[in-house]
Amino acid sequence: EGNGKGVWVVVDEDQSRKANKEVIPLTWVFKYKFDEKGYLTKVKARVCVRGDLQVSYQDTYAATLAFRIFRTLMAIVCAFDLEMWQYDVVNAFPHVPLDQPTFCKAPEGMTLPHGKILLLKKALYGLKESPALWQKHFQATLKDLGLKPVPDAPCLYANEHLFVFFFVDDIIMAFAKKDEAFAHAFEQDLFQRYEMRKIGEVQWFLALRIVRDRNKGLLRLSQESYLTSLKAKYNVKESSVATPLPTEDPPTPNDDAHATPQDIHTYQSKMGSAQFAAISTRPDIGHACSALSAYLTNPSKRHLYLAQRLLEYLVNTKDLAIVYQADVEDDQRIFVPSSDASFANDAATRRSHQGSLMMLFGGPVDWKASKQPTVTTSTTEAELLALSETAKQAYWWRRFFRGIQFEPGHLIKIECDNTQTLRLMEENVGKLVTKLRHVDIHHHWLRQEAQAGNVHFKWTPTAQMIADGLTKPLSKQKHAHFVQGLGLSPLQQ
């Protein structure tokens, strides 16, 4: 079949020696699909290249769709009630010609005459450069069909009628109902170029479940299935854990002992699983993941306990989903950035933790919880560093919105709960007195941009500062308020 589709040709093995190229084995990879009751429904077999044995290769970089871009597009789809169609390219990589000679040994079950090998003519799964070649080929197709790349957003293309985004060979097209004729024409153009399967209305993408209620103007992003799988994988017990981290006895470095290789592997595995949720749909564990990830190379027994406790929290709250709303109560809060910092709350280094949050149509589209790279000497200095980071992100968002021709319809103001920090942005207020040069630079830059009208700020009471939960552990009551403020709610509500 591969030969019939022009994927390979049979050649003398001398050709590989003349080209000074290695001969890479081909192997079979099997995939099994099950229904919702656990019954086997399909077995798929695919011939792949043993890329782990590949020595010589060209450029392998292939950009992927960022989660924040995907979440933003879902919020916009919800707000403007756009249509969404999903497609899967059947055997995407073999659509693409190889630009360098690649020689392979026949897979098990395929017999070649003595002294013969395979010369690949098309990309195959497993080949290191295949993802980059496929992406380059598909992007050229989208441009040829009249779409343009959106700046600062790899894997997102648009024209005046629709936009298309993709993750490798998983493709989604979104458009307004009035542009359905253009969407059908574009779809047919794609079908003429690739063997594709139309999935229909979007339900899963990037391992996230998409639940849409168009009558109520709601769209939810859930990882309930993924979080359920963690229960069995890590033997997570039923518990009453209601917060990601306890407020007492914060984690500290394991300076007096060396973790075993098994403990290191276990800890890194658990934190990696939690981190995937943290960057996808669960900003409520952002600070916990940031704090615990500082100990990946030498975790203590307490760190292992806290990682398991974090998984218990995730499993207990597995039904929480991001919710975007078409109808937002305040039309001046369509897009809301916020910034916060907790001064010197890292006991080992006395560095501050900071958090930034971007809300769009009632739900989070971007968030970051991190430890500041340097020690500051006051709350105001810590807040300045956090505000500077959020302001830079706000610039990016403003540029991205222009690229997709979206206008929030109001002035974008970064929310901050520190009045002293905000007063420093005013022209008639004295400047910050600090001996920390790096803080002074951020202060002068923020003041310059604020007075030029390039960035705007708004004071928010600490009790209403949602980004606070990205900077430190919260009590049970405050954490519940944090989750509600993030726009997270149970999937079945």
Which tens digits make up the pLDDT trace of 425-484? 775 555 555 555 666 667 667 777 777 877 888 999 999 999 999 999 999 999 999 999
Asked if 306 and 361 sit in the same domain, the reply is no
Domain that residue 293 falls in: 235-316
Q: How large is the average pLDDT for residues 48-67?
A: 86
4 pLDDT more than 70 = no
- Residue 296 domain-assigned? yes
334 pLDDT more than 70 = yes
Q: How large is the average pLDDT for residues 26-36?
A: 83
Asked if 175 and 271 sit in the same domain, the reply is no
Least confident span in 231-235, 399-403, 425-429? 425-429
Quickly state the pLDDT bin for 399 (edges 50, 70, 90): very high
Q: What is the CATH number of the domain that holds 430?
A: 3.30.420.10
pLDDT tens-place string over residues 235-249: 999 889 999 999 998
- How far is CA 162 from each of CA 148, 157, 202, rounded to the nearest angstrom? 11, 9, 16
Residue with tokens 């779409």: 147
Q: How large is the average pLDDT for residues 176-194?
A: 96
pLDDT tens-place string over residues 249-287: 888 998 878 999 999 999 999 999 999 999 999 999 999
pLDDT at residue 490, rounded to an integer: 95
Q: Last residue of a domain, which of 316, 338, 359?
A: 316
Quickly state the pLDDT bin for 320 (edges 50, 70, 90): very high
Q: Last residue of a domain, which of 206, 226, 255?
A: 206
Asked if 248 and 169 sit in the same domain, the reply is no
Least confident span in 128-142, 327-341, 418-432? 418-432
pLDDT tens-place string over residues 344-377: 998 889 999 999 999 999 999 999 999 999 998 8
What domain count does the chain have? 3
Asked if 464 and 394 sit in the same domain, the reply is yes
